[in-house]
Amino acid sequence: MNIDQQIDQLISEPQYQFTDAEKEKRLLPVIREQLKSHYRNNRHVKSWLDKLALDIDRIPSLAAVPPLPTQMFKYFDLQTSPGELQRILYSSSTSGQTPSRIPISPLTAQRQTKALAAIIKNHFGAKRRPFLAIDSPASNREARGITARGAAIRGFSILAREMVYAFDDHDGRMVFNEERVRDFFRRHQAEEVFALGFTFVIWSEFRKALLDANLRFHCPNLVLVHGGGWKKLRAQSVSKEVFSGTLAGLLGSRPENVLDYYGMVEQTGIVFIDCVAGHKHAPNFAEVKIRNYLTLEENGIGQPGYIEIMNLLPDSYPGMSILTEDVGEILGADDCPCGRKGKYFVFRSRLEKSEARGCGDTFREN
């Protein structure tokens, strides 16, 4: 099997089935080939790997694959496929920072769509249901580039039988559409409703709008999935428990139906959704490493560090091992009560500010 076929197989086979050891065996040969291709097709990748004096064929383990800091996507054109792009994804640039620019080829886009569908089906089944997007349609408008928020809505919309947006756009502002939301719950509250939104938008806009309008719903089978933006909530001292409890209360569901996902625009196609045990798992075509803050060596179970996401989906950028600015911790491997195999981890926090890594700098954490 060539590399493309191996990747297709990893996407289409039942997810979360490999033990930690099996994953090492399945993923490493593919990543070696991908690294060679990225090396040939992008001068920045070439110069990076040349500096590391890396013999790609002799990389002994997944942990030995050099991690690429996410910041590199801000400063360099890391396109590694020669053909035309399907789209470019941008990271949401907060506080005036340069956004990351992620080039997406048609092949990468196709794999991301299939991969996300495989993950979502594993967690929620294939049944389509009423879908409340806690956002405005502007976040999901096809332009030259779409944001992480738009990409998430688009990906999860495979679960939608009917999609309703909770907000409208008015001159670039999000305005709550009370009537539409009331109508949605009036028609669907007895059903298995799926709601999705950006964590901070849900807390600061949606929750506030419900409170202001004195709205409460009773939707016991509603599942609310949310991601991103914990930094701002931590600043307001809103914990995951408070978040889940508050939203479950307002919507008439249970706190355990409020599920956090972790994802990043650099690794679109992969979302890490809480399992019933509250853990996050890597699907077949991805792996998670936790790296030591200072040495960047792989950390063991129970040692927090930077989250590194290894991802086999992209051919148009080097996504095989991206070192994030996020902090997480591996809790175990192969024995999660939910039955999914491989490592499982928790997301701890996002660094407030990151500087050059591995230089012994002190970082401020939130």
Total residue count of the chain as it appears in this document: 366
Instruction: Please say which residue, 123 or 226, places its beta carbon nearer to Zn ion.
Output: 123
Phi, psi for residue 335 in degrees, rounded to 5: -130, 30
CB 274, min distance to Zn ion, A: 8
**Sole binder of Zn ion in the list 123, 279, 341, 350 (CB under 5 A):** 279
Q: Does 59 bind Zn ion (CB under 5 A)?
A: no
Q: How far is the CB of 317 from Zn ion (least distance, A)?
A: 29
Binding flag, residue 123, Zn ion (CB under 5 A): no
190 to 219, contacts with Zn ion by CB under 5 A?
Answer: none
341 sits near Zn ion (criterion: CB under 5 A): no
In the complex, least distance from residue 279 CB atom to Zn ion, rounded to whole angstroms:
4
CB of 276 to Zn ion, least distance (A): 7
- How far is the C-alpha of 197 from the C-alpha of 323, rounded, in Å? 25
Buried b (16+ CB within 10 A) or exposed e, 81-118: beeebebebbbeeeeeeebbbbbbbebbbbbbbbbbbb
Q: How many residues bind Zn ion (CB under 5 A)?
A: 6
Rounded CA-CA distance 15/157 in Å is 20
Min dist CB 290 to Zn ion, Å, is 17
CB 74 within 8 A of CB 354: no
Q: For residue 88, which phi and psi values (nearest 5 degrees)?
A: -120, 130
**Residue 273 makes contact with Zn ion by CB under 5 A:** no
- Chosen residue from 189, 338, 348, 363 binding Zn ion by CB under 5 A: 338
- Residue 275, interface with Zn ion (CB under 5 A)? yes
User: 43: burial class by Cβ within 10 Å (0-12, 13-18, 19+)?
Assistant: exposed
Question: H-type helices in 215-354, by residue range?
Answer: 230-235, 240-251
* Stretch near Zn ion under the rule CB under 5 A, chosen from 23-31, 34-42, 46-54, 330-338: 330-338
16: left (phi over 0), alpha (psi -120 to 50) or beta: left
Considering the complex, state which of residue 188 and residue 340 has its C-beta at the smaller distance from Zn ion. 340
Which range binds Zn ion by CB under 5 A, 2-10, 134-142, 210-218, 329-337? Answer: 329-337
- Which of 3, 277, 331, 351 is in the footprint of Zn ion by CB under 5 A? 277
Closest approach, Cβ 284 to Zn ion, in A, equals 15
Residue 355 near residue 363, CB atoms below 8 Å: yes
State yes or no: residue 181 binds Zn ion (CB under 5 A): no
In whole angstroms, how close is the CB of 277 to Zn ion at the nearest point?
Answer: 5
The secondary structure of 277-302 as a DSSP string is: TS-EE--TTEEEEEE-TTT-PBP-TT
List interacting residues with Zn ion (CB under 5 A). 275, 277, 279, 336, 338, 340
